[in-house]
Structure 1
Amino acid sequence: MQSNAATPLAQRLWPTSNSTDKAVRGVALALLGTLVLFVSAKVQVPFWPVPATLQSLCVVMIGATFGARLGAATLALYLLEGAMGLPVFAGTPERGIGLAYMVGPTGGYLLGFLAAAFVVGRLVETGFARSLPTIALSVLAAHAAIHGLGLLWLGSAIGFDKAFTVAFLPFVPADLVKMALSTAVIWGVGRKSAA
């Protein structure tokens, strides 16, 4: 049995006593999570040097709140919705929809979202992400998964130097703000819920 401090917030706020209740909770949270991801993909935040979406922030929060398996399942459902042609991703339907969009330049970032939710969720579940520094490291690991897979995918198409210059460096300022915000929220909510 996991200790309370290592139990994802969703399980602490919505405890279940049997497998049916657990399945209902999982489906409800996954659907809610994909709705949050959809909205976060469509919100453009003015930022220097490029506008940013709130997707990576929401991915990290979903992973930390839901845990590794439910977080990854939520992201898998979100990717499935996109693969089926629903305009759930940033820039859809203007830049295409469905599998054509997913195998485009941002495909690696989409896979990175799934990995990031699992990584941060796992670090929460194991109890690693208990202090402010270790939460910050967990959030950094999640962002590394997003950017790592995204840059590998994009770099294989346009070259790694160009991918780093156009798809990583301009986003660093916004990502630092989102990482600080998600770290503070995870730490603050964790402290309140453990009290």
Structure 2
Amino acid sequence: MPFHQAVAYRSNMQTVTDCAVILSASVLLALSAKLQIPFFPVPMTMQTFAVLGIGLMLGPVRGVLAVFTYLLEGVIGLPVFAGAPELGSGIAYLMGPTGGYLLGCVPAVLISGGLAGLGRDRGLVFTMGALIAALAAIYGSGLIWLGGVVGFDKPVLRLGFFPFILGDLVKATVVALAFHSIRKSV
């Protein structure tokens, strides 16, 4: 096989592999949304765990594409969001109280994937810092959105932050430890 054909073949195979990885990550996000403890108005799910892991493992570009794919699946009406289809689906679901948290997954995966890529040799503390910054992106957009939906006169932090932060910090720690363990073994 001539060199230019070999390069084109490798490029095509990489594209197919990337698409499969991105689609698989979007399915992981959908499954993680279904693992939930019902809270009102925001459910406790395993999505932060999945988003942080996707950012670290796929990097910022493929990670963002995976989150966009997941969000698109939800917007077109597939029951991928927590509580869907019982609590609605499509764009209407995204406009509800959890929409800001879901949209916050985009910058979160950019942050976790980008900072982890910069600090691959910097150790666990640097990775934890990247994951905490990613959580801040999720909570920042989520709380602002939640306040807009339920009203800022309501106890927004009590509804959308305090019940979740400890669990999310534990999830971030597990993701960071797993990431460093996998990286050492590869």
Report the TM-score when normalising by structure 2. 0.87
Q: Is 2:43–2:82's contact at 8 Å kept on the other side of the alignment?
A: no
- Tell me the SS of whatever aligns to 1:191: helix
Over the aligned positions, Cα root-mean-square deviation in angstroms equals 2.1
Q: Is 2:119–2:127's contact at 8 Å kept on the other side of the alignment?
A: no
Larger radius of gyration: 2
Which stretches of structure 1, 4 residues or longer, exceed 3 Å deviation after superposition?
A: none
> What is the match of residue 84 of structure 1?
76
Identical-residue share of aligned pairs (%): 40
Long gaps (5+) in structure 2: 1-8
- How far does residue 160 in structure 1 lie from its aligned partner after superposition? 7.0
Distance 1:32 1:160, change over 3 A: farther
- Tell me the SS of whatever aligns to 2:163: helix
Q: Which amino acid aligns with 1:63?
A: G
- Tell me the SS of whatever aligns to 1:170: coil
- How far does residue 191 in structure 1 lie from its aligned partner after superposition? 1.9
- How far does residue 128 in structure 1 lie from its aligned partner after superposition? 5.6
Q: After superposition, what is the alpha-carbon deviation per residue over 1:39-88, rounded to whole angstroms, capped at 9, x for unaligned?
A: 11111269xxx973111000110111001000000000000000000010
> What is the match of residue 87 of structure 2?
95
Match of 2:44 among 52, 59, 63: 52
**Residue pairs, 1:162-177, within 5 angstroms:** 162-177=155-170
> What is the match of residue 116 of structure 1?
108
Distance 1:167 1:178, change over 3 A: same
Q: Is 1:67–1:118's contact at 8 Å kept on the other side of the alignment?
A: yes
Q: After superposition, what is the alpha-carbon deviation per residue over 1:25-46, rounded to whole angstroms, capped at 9, x for unaligned?
A: 1110011111111111111269
Match of 2:129 among 127, 137, 161: 137
Q: Which amino acid aligns with 1:184?
A: L
- How far does residue 188 in structure 1 lie from its aligned partner after superposition? 1.3
How far apart are the structure 1 equivalents of 2:43 and 2:147?
21
Match of 2:183 among 179, 182, 190: 190
How far apart are the structure 1 equivalents of 2:111 and 2:43?
26
- How far does residue 170 in structure 1 lie from its aligned partner after superposition? 0.9
Long gaps (5+) in structure 1: 1-16
Match of 1:71 among 42, 56, 63: 63
How far apart are the structure 1 equivalents of 2:106 and 2:84?
19
